[in-house]
């Protein structure tokens, strides 16, 4: 059995033997620290938002009107949770941690993201856009948003 485990682990770039859990408390904070992020970096907020966009792209939503958004994949309409600091800011794209319903559907724990941070992911490629039975985009505004972002990106000077 150890050889089977070793073969499986090598094929998945993991260790072939059990590992102890990382220590709790301050040692875990040192172990989990990301050395490439510096809180004094002027781009810190953008880097964090990009990382969140990469991690929660599957919970992205596009603005419909005011604080009403439509989720990209499930095509559900929901408002931004009233306790969010993004209420009234009308960001074009947001990602959320959870989708809740308490008589009214809400996106909770919401972060604003730029479409440029999402559009290159496999999930958001044109050929993967959700479509109806007739092959039309379920939400054509998604394609319009990404087309605008691609055009803006292409018009920027290369540094």
- For the stretch 64-96, pLDDT in tens is 998 999 999 888 999 999 999 999 999 999 999
Distance CA 116, CA 149 (A): 6
Greater confidence, 22 or 115? 115
User: With contact defined as beta carbons under 8 Å apart, do 125 and 62 qualify?
Assistant: no
Domain ranges for the chain? 53-155
Q: What is the pLDDT of residue 77?
A: 94
Residue among 110, 99, 95, 111 nearest 57 (CA) = 95
Q: What is the pLDDT of residue 63?
A: 96
With beta carbons less than 8 A apart as the criterion, state whether 83 and 110 touch.
no
88-111 mean pLDDT:
92
H or E, element range at 109: strand 105-113
Indicate the burial class of 67 (C-beta count within 10 angstroms; 0-12, 13-18, 19 or more).
buried
Percent of the chain with pLDDT over 90: 40
Mean pLDDT (whole number) for 149-158: 89
Write down the pLDDT at residue 34: 53
The pLDDT value given to residue 41: 86
Q: Which pLDDT does position 110 carry in this prediction?
A: 93
pLDDT single digits (tens) 28-48: 445 455 556 777 888 888 888
**How large is the average pLDDT for residues 4-13?**
50
Across the chain, mean pLDDT equals 81
User: Residue 102 CA to chain centroid, in angstroms?
Assistant: 24
Q: Which residues contact 89 (CB under 8 A, 6 or more apart)?
A: 112
- pLDDT value, residue 78: 96
Confidence of residue 6 (pLDDT cuts 50, 70, 90): low
What is the DSSP track for 25-94?
Answer: THHHHHHH--TT--TT-TTHHHHHHHHHHHHSGGGEEEEEETTEEEETTT--EEEEPTTSTTTTT--SEE
* pLDDT at residue 141 in the model: 93
């Amino acid at each position: 059995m150890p050889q089977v485990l070793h073969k499986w682990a090598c094929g998945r770039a993991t260790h072939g033997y059990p590992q102890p859990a990382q220590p709790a408390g301050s040692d875990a904070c040192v172990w989990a620290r990301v050395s490439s992020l510096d809180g004094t970096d002027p781009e810190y907020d953008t880097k964090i938002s990009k990382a969140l966009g990469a991690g929660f792209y599957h919970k992205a939503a596009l603005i419909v009107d005011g604080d009403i958004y439509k989720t990209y994949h499930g095509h559900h309409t929901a408002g931004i949770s009233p306790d969010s600091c993004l209420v009234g800011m009308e960001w074009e794209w947001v990602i959320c941690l959870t989708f809740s319903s308490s008589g009214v559907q809400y996106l909770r724990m919401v972060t604003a993201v730029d479409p440029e941070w999402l559009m290159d992911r496999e999930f958001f490629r044109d050929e993967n856009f959700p479509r109806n039975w007739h092959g039309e985009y379920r939400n054509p505004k998604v394609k319009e948003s990404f087309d605008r972002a691609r055009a803006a990106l292409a018009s920027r000077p290369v540094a």
